[in-house]
C-alpha cells in the first residue's frame, strides 16, 4: 500500500453567507475551514520546488473565492465544495475538511461538520 504525506491549511477564515433561513444568508458570517490533504510529497521534499507539491495557496484562494461568491444553506455543503476544490489537484488522493460556524448555537462555541473524501469519490 502506498503511503501519503499530509498537508494542511488550518483555521482559514472565510466570509460566507450560510444558513437555513434567508435572514442567516442575508449577510456574510465568519466561518473557519481546515483542509487536510494526503498526497505523495516525496518529489517536492527532494526538489524543493512548488511545482512538485500541492499548492496550498492555490487551494486557499480557490476556497475563499468559492465561499465568498455564493450562498449555502448547510455547512455540510460548504465542506463538500471545499473537498471538491482540493481534489482538483491530481496529486491529492484524500481530503479531510472541517467547517466551523462560530455562534451558530446559543451556549456553544460553534457548530462543526467534518467530512473525508477520496479521489474518484468527489460529489458533484
Which of 2, 6, 57, 101 is the catalytic position?
Answer: 101
User: Any catalytic annotation for residue 101?
Assistant: yes
Please tell me the distance from the alpha carbon of residue 100 to that of residue 31, in angstroms, as a whole number. 6
pLDDT confidence of residue 106: 84
12: helix, strand or coil: strand
Higher pLDDT, 23 or 96: 96
101: helix, strand or coil: strand
Count Cβ neighbours within 10 Å for each residue of 40-61 and write b for 16 or more, e otherwise: bbeebeeeeeeeebbebeebbe
Residue range 41-59: average pLDDT? Answer: 95
pLDDT grade for 121, boundaries at 50, 70 and 90: low
User: In the predicted model, is pLDDT for residue 122 greater than 60?
Assistant: no
Q: What percent of the chain clears pLDDT 70, i.e. is strictly above it?
A: 96
Is domain 5-118 annotated with CATH 3.30.1130.10?
yes
Residue ranges of alpha helices (H) inside 40-120 are 42-47, 56-69, 75-86
pLDDT in tens, 6-21: 999 999 999 999 999 9
Count Cβ neighbours within 10 Å for each residue of 101-117 and write b for 16 or more, e otherwise: beebeeeeeeebbebeb
pLDDT in tens, 18-37: 999 998 889 999 999 999 99
pLDDT grade for 4, boundaries at 50, 70 and 90: very high
User: In the predicted model, is pLDDT for residue 120 greater than 80?
Assistant: no
Question: Considering the entire predicted model, what is its pTM?
Answer: 0.91
CA 108 to chain centre: 22
Point out which residues pair with 102 in neighbouring strands: 110
Amino acid at each position: 500500500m502506498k503511503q501519503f504525506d499530509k498537508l494542511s491549511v488550518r483555521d482559514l477564515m472565510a466570509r460566507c453567507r450560510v444558513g437555513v433561513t434567508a435572514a442567516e444568508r442575508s449577510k456574510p458570517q465568519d466561518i473557519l475551514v481546515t483542509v487536510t490533504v494526503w498526497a505523495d510529497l516525496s518529489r517536492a521534499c527532494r526538489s524543493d520546488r512548488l511545482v512538485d507539491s500541492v499548492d496550498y495557496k492555490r487551494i486557499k484562494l480557490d476556497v475563499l473565492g468559492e465561499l465568498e461568491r455564493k450562498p449555502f444553506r448547510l455547512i455540510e455543503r460548504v465542506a463538500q465544495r471545499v473537498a471538491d476544490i482540493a481534489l482538483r489537484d491530481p496529486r491529492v488522493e484524500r481530503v479531510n475538511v472541517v467547517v466551523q460556524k462560530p455562534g451558530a448555537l446559543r451556549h456553544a462555541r460553534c457548530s462543526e461538520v467534518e467530512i473525508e473524501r477520496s479521489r474518484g469519490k468527489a460529489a458533484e
